[in-house]
Amino acid sequence: QNADEEIVIGFSQCTGNDLWRKTMHDDMLRELSFYDNTRLIIKDAEDDNSRQIQHIQEFINTGVDLLIVSPNEAEPVTPYIEQAYSSGIPVIVIDRKSSSNLYTAYIGADNFEIGKAAAEFALTSFDQDTVKVLEIWGLRGSTPAIERHKGFNAGLANHDVFEIVASVNGEWQYEKALTRFGSAIDTLDIDLVFAHNDQMGKAAHEVLLNKKRRKDIQVYGVDGLPGSGGGLEMVMNGVLDATFLYPTGGNEAIRLAVDILQGRPVTKEHRLITTAIHEGNVRTLKLQSEKILSQQQSIMRQQKLIADQNSLYKSQRIILYLVSGG
C-alpha cells in the first residue's frame, strides 16, 4: 500500500442509538484522530440482523481494509463474518461475539464474569431466607445476554436462598423493558431485579418507583458508563443499587486495527477489565472518570489547535511561494 493512500476501516454496528454505542463511537473517533489517512465508516443495523448482513456484504464488495463487527445476534450474522474473513479482510469482533472462530481478533469484557460478579454482589447484599430474582434479559440471541445469564446462574449455584422466579425480554432496550417489566411485575413478589444493562435497569427502577415498590426491591444493571445519563450517575442517584463495568473497547479496537493493518502480530482474544460499582466506591470512580473525560476533552482541543495551525502553515507557505515566485 502506498503511504499516502487512505485506509478505510468499516464498522458494522448492531445498533447505534443508545449511550453505550455512542460512547463507543466517540472512543473510536478519538483514537482514530491520532492516525493520518485513516477513515472509519460506521453502518448502524438498528437491531436488525438482515440489515447488518447487508452492511457486511457492502463492506466486502467495496473492499474495506479492515472490518470491525459487533454482531446483533450471533447465529444469523456469523456466516457473513466468516465470508469477510475468508475473503482476506482482517476482522475484529467487538462486544457481542460471533459463533465461530473465523476472525482475526475479539475484544470485549468477559460477560460470564460480569454475571458472576452480579451474583456475588447479591450474595453479600441480602441476609434473608429467600431472595426472589427477576432477570431482565438482553436480546436472547446476542452473546452478552447469554453469558451474563450463565454467569449469574453459576454464581448463585450453591446458594438455594436465591431463586430466579421470572424473566422478561428487554432486548437491551429501555422502552421494551419499561412495558414488559411493567406488565409482569404486578403479580410478582420479588426482591431483586438483575437487568442485563443499565438502561433496562433504569426502566425497572421507574416502574417500581411508580408502583411505590422501589424500596423493597434492589435493581442491578450492567455497563457503568461515565458522564451524564450513564450508569455511574445512576448508582450515585439511587436509580441502580449496583452496576458492573462493561467498557466499550472503542479505542482499543482502533489501536488493534492499526496494529493489524501495519502487519504487527496481535493476540486473538482481548479481554477488557470489569468491576462492581456500588454505593461504596461510586464516588471515587465518578471522580476518576470525570478527570479522564476532561483530559480527553483537552486532548481533542489541542488536536484541533494543531490541525488549525497546520493548515495555517500550509496556506502561509503557499503565499510565501507566490510572493517569492517559487
Which residues are near ligand FRU by CB under 6 A?
15, 18, 20-21, 95-96, 138, 142, 144, 172, 197, 222-223, 246
Burial class of residue 43 in the structure, from the number of CB atoms within 10 Å of its CB (0-12 exposed, 13-18 middle, 19+ buried)? middle
**Alpha-carbon span 310 to 325, nearest angstrom:** 22
Strand residue runs (E) in the chain: 7-13, 38-44, 66-70, 91-94, 105-109, 131-137, 162-169, 192-195, 218-220, 242-244, 269-272, 276-278
- Check: CB of residue 225 under 8 Å from CB of residue 231: yes
Q: How far is the CB of 224 from ligand FRU (least distance, A)?
A: 10
Q: How far is the CB of 258 from ligand FRU (least distance, A)?
A: 24
Q: How far is the CB of 234 from ligand FRU (least distance, A)?
A: 12
- 283-299 burial: b if 16+ Cβ within 10 Å, else e: eebbeebeeeeeeeeee
Q: Nearest-5° angle of CA 247, CA 253, CA 257?
A: 175
Give the residue with the Cβ less far from ligand FRU, 155 or 201: 201
Give the residue with the Cβ less far from ligand FRU, 65 or 95: 95
Q: How far is the CB of 69 from ligand FRU (least distance, A)?
A: 12
Q: How far is the CB of 215 from ligand FRU (least distance, A)?
A: 26
Give the residue with the Cβ less far from ligand FRU, 222 or 258: 222
Give the residue with the Cβ less far from ligand FRU, 60 or 103: 103
Give the residue with the Cβ less far from ligand FRU, 138 or 141: 138
Give the residue with the Cβ less far from ligand FRU, 148 or 286: 148
For 176-201, the DSSP string reads HHHHHHHHHGGG---SEEEESSHHHH
Give the residue with the Cβ less far from ligand FRU, 147 or 241: 147
Q: How far is the CB of 29 from ligand FRU (least distance, A)?
A: 17
The residue length of the chain stands at: 326
Q: How far is the CB of 106 from ligand FRU (least distance, A)?
A: 13
Note the maximum CA span of the chain.
89
**Taking Cα atoms as reference points, which of 220, 217, 210 lies closest to residue 278?**
220
